[in-house]
Amino acid sequence: MLNQALAFVVETVFHVFVLAALVRFWMQALKAPVRNPIAQFTMALTDFAVKPLRRVLPGLLRLDLASLAVAWAAEFALLAILALLREVPIASGPVLSILGFLAIVKLLRLTVYIVMGAVLLQALLTWVSPYHPVAPFFDALTRPFLKPFQKAVPTIGGVDVTPVLVLIACQLVLMLPVAWLETQAVAAVAKAALP
C-alpha cells in the first residue's frame, strides 16, 4: 500500500518534469513562440538540467538534443525507480537496456498525447478566443500535423474537421505501434528479470 502511494507521487512528479522537457524539445523543433506562460513555465522548470547539458550535447539542425536527452533520462530514471518499488531486479545489463528502450517508447506515447492536447486546445481557442496570447504557441505546435489533413479535406459548412482526423490518427498510433512496442518491452523486462 505504501509502495503504491510512493509510486503515485514519484510518477506524478517525474511526469510533470518529463512533459515539460519534451514540450521544450518540440517548442524549439517547431519554432513555437516562447513569450507565453506555458513556454516560460517549461523553460523555468527544465533550465537547471537542460542548460548545463547543452555544453556537452549541442543541438543538431533545429533539434534541441539536450532537452530530449533530459526527457529520456528522467523517463528512464522513473522506470528504474518504479521497477525497484515493484522489487524487479534491474542490476543486469539486459533489464537496463530494455528500460532504456521502454523510456523511448514512453516518450513517443507522451509526444502523441502532447499533439492530441495541443490540437484540442487549438481547436477550442479558434472557436472561443482566436486572438488569445497562447494561440500562436498552439498554432506552431499543431500546424505540421493539421496541414496535411487540411490540404486533403476541405472545410464542411465552414467548419474545419481536420482536428478530429488528427485525433483519430493519434489514437490509431497509440493503439497500434506504440501499444505493441510497449507490450514487447514490458514482456522483455519481465523475462529478463526472472532468475
Q: What is the pLDDT of residues 55-86, one digit of tens each?
A: 998 888 878 999 999 999 999 999 999 988 88
- Please write the tens of the pLDDT for every residue from 166-177: 999 999 999 999
pLDDT value, residue 188: 85
Confidence check: pLDDT of 23 > 90: yes
Q: Kindly state the helix (H) or strand (E) to which residue 133 belongs, with its residue range.
A: none
Q: pLDDT: is 114 or 60 the higher one? A: 114
Name which of 85, 142, 150, 93 is nearest 119 in CA terms.
142
pLDDT in tens, 44-53: 999 999 999 9
pLDDT at 8 > cutoff 80: yes
Answer yes or no: is pLDDT of 91 > 80. Answer: no
Give, as one character, the DSSP assignment of residue 65: H
Do residues 45 and 20 touch, judged by C-beta distance below 8 A?
Answer: yes
The domain locations on the chain are 2-193
Closest of 81, 53, 79, 52 to residue 66, by C-alpha:
53
**What DSSP state is assigned to residue 63?**
B
User: What pLDDT does residue 116 have?
Assistant: 97
Place of cell 493519434: 170
- Sorting pLDDT into bands at 50, 70 and 90, what band is 94? confident
